[in-house]
Amino acid sequence: VITTGPCAVVRHPSCSVNIAYCAGSVLCLIASEWWTWKCGMLETFTGKDFALLWATNAALIALAGIKGAALEDVARRREFTKACESSPECTRHRICPYIY
């Protein structure tokens, strides 16, 4: 069980970064100063479809990361129960400190 570095704060730091990336990419896509608005892409039917597909894809990737983290925790508990119980440094937060 790793309890140093980013894993000392959250058990799944890569999922945290992935969720932040997905949220950031969707925010950039719909931001009023971003190229999608400046070139008029989001004013077309095709552009709106692209934005919807992009946002849906980002949401599915984020949800898959959350579900994967939950499944990994079940496997970790099964394999490393004694190591985690005996170690006070075991990380409490799964993806986001003090939230989840």
Q: Is pLDDT above 70 for 98? A: no
Q: What is the pLDDT of residue 89?
A: 55
Does some domain include residue 38? Answer: yes
Does some domain include residue 41? Answer: yes
- d(CA 100, CA 98) in angstroms, rounded, equals 6
Residue range(s) defining the domain that contains residue 51: 13-81
**What is the value of pTM for the model shown?**
0.67
Does some domain include residue 5? Answer: no
Write the pLDDT tens digit of every residue in 71-82: 887 887 788 776
The tally of domains found in the chain comes to 1
- d(CA 26, CA 88) in angstroms, rounded, equals 38
Does some domain include residue 68? Answer: yes
Does some domain include residue 43? Answer: yes
- d(CA 98, CA 81) in angstroms, rounded, equals 22
